[in-house]
Structure 1
């Protein structure tokens, strides 16, 4: 018995040029050429060129932003849709403006602080090295208590009242009065100590301030979240100060005086760290850029108190 020969499928080229093989329905009669593959271009902006596959609106790869986006942005921020270039530009513009405003705020605060410290240590130098002035300050302690009252009142106004603290030029006037009052107090206290003790206190205070500033700009530890602990430390320092004053009023004990002064210097150094990180603004809490008077005031008070406490330690040590 003869069997019919089953024809095998023709090759593709033969079927393409000889469409007589119509017994294979899956073969298309009219074959259109396939689209060419996309040309590779290493340029970052090649997505925006015309005729390039795929279109810019359909694909965005890392390092290849669409047309209209800045090509210098390496990554996208978390939570911002990558398909919205307008929001990305607004976000980056806001971030840049915020950083520039913060830097200008820090420069302004440190400029004001430098002027305050220059006035204060000039007064301290005059009260320490000019003997007639030194004797006058020691002979009239009432001026010291008057300056203390001015210091306390102006401090309460600047800390508790937002309007005077932010209104120019009254904020600078109040800060100037406060600086003069505290400078007189620091100079009056320094007049009771020797020249060597004052020099040592100035040098140690400068080293502490530089070390704290460098530490705050480099560390990842957030001290702004420890405000409650610092308040407890301030209360304990006040209690220790009252007890020490009562004990020393009956009998002067040098080591007790040095211990209290050392604790006070440590506590105010921690306050300086806290207020410096508030100033920097990259932690949990931050000072508003409008509060440059408050920023300079807080740092200035911390530095002067560190100087006075270190002066007590050095003065007791050099006696």
Structure 2
């Protein structure tokens, strides 16, 4: 039996009583309540990211501090690794309220700063284009995954392929750091990254519908949030390279 968290013990909002996928054994109302919980958390994360990113982009002393001072460069490196460091205690406290939300907030804010610093070197037109494209792709792929799950399609097989693709992207990024290959290679890298994270959106949405248990709402939110942010960064990379 599923472990029902306190938020599921409250009055469940009215939702569809139809199964989300064939052979669904759990209550559709409980699963829909869980899905709404995840998307509410992700929406708050994205709004917080937009707010922090906008502050970094518009308030130039922040960018100057991070890019021109030794202390700023050290802080910049810390901001890059801080989200991954935060995931360690989060893996232990992900069921402890409110510690899990506090750690999730730290994870989101530090990553938002890194995203904002990336956007600070990009024109507003390119950022807007990347935001619109990201929103369209995420909504389209989410709708497609729900439609496909309803008709019995399963995307669990994508897991090993996507993991292998991410490993290739990581190696490629290190090659780019030490041996820059030019604008064309940057656009290729961005295009491949966008395809991979489109796959991850489908994969993680499928897991959200079928596999995540009710006490894993933090991990489900982290996975979807990272998919969206990485897709945005990938599209930003392509558009920025094309704009230069």
Q: Same fold (TM over 0.5)?
A: yes
- 1:266 positional shift: 1.1
1:315 to 236, 240, 244: 240
**Corresponding residue of 2:169:** 237
Indicate yes or no: 2:218 matched with 1:293.
yes
**Corresponding residue of 1:111:** 40
Counterparts of 1:159-198 in structure 2 under 5 Å?
161=91, 163-198=92-127
Unaligned runs of 5+ in 1: 1-93
Number of positions where the alignment pairs a residue of Structure 1 with one of Structure 2: 215
Alpha carbons 1:138, 1:188 under 8 Å: kept:
no
Whole-angstrom distance in 1 between the partners of 2:184 and 2:51: 30
- 1:130 positional shift: 3.4
Deviation >6 Å, runs of 4+: none
Greater relative contact order structure (CA < 8 Å, 6+ sep): 2
Unaligned runs of 5+ in 2: 1-23
- 1:128 positional shift: 2.2
- 1:269 positional shift: 1.4
- 1:247 positional shift: 2.0
Indicate yes or no: 2:84 matched with 1:152.
yes
Whole-angstrom distance in 1 between the partners of 2:202 and 2:41: 18
Give the 3 Å change call, closer, same or farther, for CA 182–152 of structure 1 in structure 2.
same
Task: Report the structure, 1 or 2, having the larger helix content.
Answer: 2
Counterparts of 1:136-285 in structure 2 under 5 Å?
136-139=65-68, 140-158=72-90, 161=91, 163-219=92-148, 220=151, 221-248=153-180, 253-281=182-210
**Corresponding residue of 1:303:** 228
- 1:256 positional shift: 0.8
Q: Which TM-score applies when normalising by structure 1?
A: 0.64
Alpha carbons 1:147, 1:184 under 8 Å: kept:
yes
